[in-house]
Amino acid sequence: MTRFPLPDPMRRALDLAAAAAEAGEVPVGAVVVDAAGKTIGEGENRMRRNRDPSGHAEIIALRAAAAELGSERLDGCSLWVSLEPCAMCAGAISLARISKLYFAAEDPKGGAVLHGPRLYTQPTCHHRPDIMSGMGEEDAAAQLRDFFAARRT
């Protein structure tokens, strides 16, 4: 569906989102990449499987990356996500000091970066990552549409 090749981390985030959907989870995937370009954490939504309201793809990927680096600070790292992060995840991204946030599809209902509270524009937000959205948007939006359409029938 994408008209041009996606960077590997976004392709992987979309693959993780597809795996989440196959497991009955909302299709969201996330990948953390260090400054050298090495993947150091990844995750897919696991809220239902783990019976954990914080089991979002971003949180799982951030936890894995922090464990890999042995630090709660992920300075110089980028996060690649298939969907605009919610308020919980946007807050965790800020606290982790992620340098760059890439996400595929915007989320007008639940997103907190470009929508809703627009967390990074708030004066109480002490760290704001550089943000790029839209890369892989068609693929991510199709995954979400298909997932929710199958549940409505």
| CB-CB contact of 130 with 101 (8 Å) | yes
State yes or no: 125 annotated in a binding site: no
E-strand spans in 77-118? Answer: 78-83, 100-105
Select from 79, 129, 138 the least CA-distant residue to 106: 138
State yes or no: 115 annotated in a binding site: no
- What DSSP state is assigned to residue 115? S
CA distances from 53 to 47, 50, 56, 57, 70 (A): 6, 9, 8, 11, 24
Q: Which residues are catalytic?
A: 58
Token output for 75: 């300075």
User: Which residue numbers belong to the known binding site for Zn(2+)?
Assistant: 56, 86, 89
User: Which residue numbers belong to the known binding site?
Assistant: 56, 86, 89
